[in-house]
Each structure stands twice: as C-alpha cells, then as structure tokens.
Amino acid sequence: MTDRYAVLGNPIDHSKSPLIHGMFAKATGQGIVYEKILVPEGGFTQIAETFRAAGGKGLNITAPCKLDAFAYADTTSPSAQMAGAVNALRFGAGGVEGENFDGVGLVRDITVNLGQAITGKRVLLLGAGGAARGALLPFMAQRPASLHIANRTPARAEELARIGSAHGTISAGGYDTIAAGAYDLVVNATSASLTGALPPISADAFTHATLAYELAYGKGLTPFLRLARQARPALAAADGVGMLAEQAAEAFAWWRGVRPDTAEVIAAITIPLN
C-alpha cells in the first residue's frame, strides 16, 4: 500500500506542497501519494483524525491551521514549542508528533543555498509573530554577533528577546529602535508583504547589509526587497522560496528517513525578483 501524506490549510489551491513532495519522492525513489485538503473553519481536528484513521502517515500544515495542529499533537518538539505552532505532523504507534521546520528551513536556505554566513553577523529580524518565533532558536544556534528584533508592538519583541536571551545577545524594541547601518542581514518576518505593504523601516537599515530576506514567497520584488535594492544595489535579495523547499525537505526526511536535494525544486518554483 502506498503511504499517504497531505497538506492542510485554507485556502489551499495555491499550495506548492504536492509538487514539491512529488518531486522529492521521484528523486529519492519513495512511493508516496501526496494531496492537498481544504479545511473549513473549525474543521481541523475532524479532517486530521479522518486522514489518520484512513492510514495517513503525516501532514504538512499551512495557514491558518498551525495553532490547531499544535493543540492536536500529542507531543511537540522544542522548535514547535518555541513557535507555538506546528507545520508538520507524523502519525505512529506513539501517537501524533508535531514539528516546526520553518526556522531550520530558513537558516539552511540562507547559509547553504545563498552562501550567507549568520555566525558572527549582525541580524535584524522584523516582526515578533509566529514566523519570527520559529526562526529565533535556529538563528541563535548559528551564533550571530547580535540579533535585534523590531516589531510594531515593542512589548511582543521584548518578550521574544527575553525568551531567547539565554542563547546569545538579543535586543528588541519598536521600529524606532532600528539603528542605521548596524546590520549585515535583514530578515522580514512580518506579514506586510502579503498585502503589498512595507514594514515601517527606512533605507538606512540596509547601509551595510549583505542580504535582505523576505519570508513571503511568490510575490516577486516586494516593497521590502525593492527598498533594500534601492538602498544597497550590491546586496543579495531573496524571498522565501528556498525556505519553503528546505522546510519541506526536513519534513520529508522526518517522514521517510531520506533527505532529498532541494536544488531542482527551488529552480522549478522560483519566481524572478523583478
């Protein structure tokens, strides 16, 4: 019997997960079926249970179901607990395991695919929501020289900084605490680009930056990336396509025991930044 996997969310038609995992399965010789399932409001648990009862082996979780998946899991990893959200579930004899691979996928894309070191660098992280929380510990594991979290609500950034302070030098505050020319890597973990908006930052945040990274993907040159390029044309600019592929590869390896290469997938789903 072919093992079944799926991605759950709402909306779901846009999801690249079936394409990605189909390419991974072909490249690694794994026999799986992967589908996408629309989750009506309030229907997550029923759909997850039905899928599991029918012999499903695991699920990817996308918005707005990551909090539901966190509550549904019997056990959750430290990365999921830090994020307060789950983006992958695994069903086994021991129950339902919950993971969050977003942060490790982001770090791998930056350090491996883009060739940008985080170790010893000064990092500016915009936003203090679930995406930022998921990225925090993987970032700190790379031992940056410093990490500054800026958020529209300073208290949320400061809370996140307190949580991560045991792992290195972290500061936090509102957008008015962003220092001109003080960062090597600038990462936008806000939802602003999903609506075509720009986080309230100025061009001088990029004065000495070597990378501007946008977690949103498939939006082309977002206002955030456009500002970064205007401020410093020589910097590298990237959206979250590589992060999407890398977190998917982590989930695939967690389920199947083999980690696929991501280069072909990234090439297939990348939209040029122009």
| Residues 149 and 171: beta-carbon distance below 8 Å | yes
- Maximum CA pair distance of the chain? 58
What own/partner pairs with CB < 8 Å and gap ≥ 24 does 64-67 have? 64/9, 64/10, 65/8, 65/9, 65/10, 65/39, 66/100, 66/130
- Alpha carbon distances (Å) from 111 to 104, 108, 150, 221, 273: 10, 5, 22, 21, 20
Please say if 219 is a catalytic residue: no
Please name the helix (run of DSSP H) or strand (run of DSSP E) that holds residue 177, with its range, or none: none
Q: Which of 16, 57, 66, 121 is catalytic?
A: 66
Helix spans in the chain (H): 17-28, 44-53, 66-72, 78-83, 102-108, 130-141, 154-164, 223-231, 241-256, 263-269
Q: Is 19 exposed, middle or buried (0-12, 13-18, 19+ CB in 10 A)?
A: middle
Would you please indicate which residues are annotated as catalytic (active-site) residues? Answer: 66
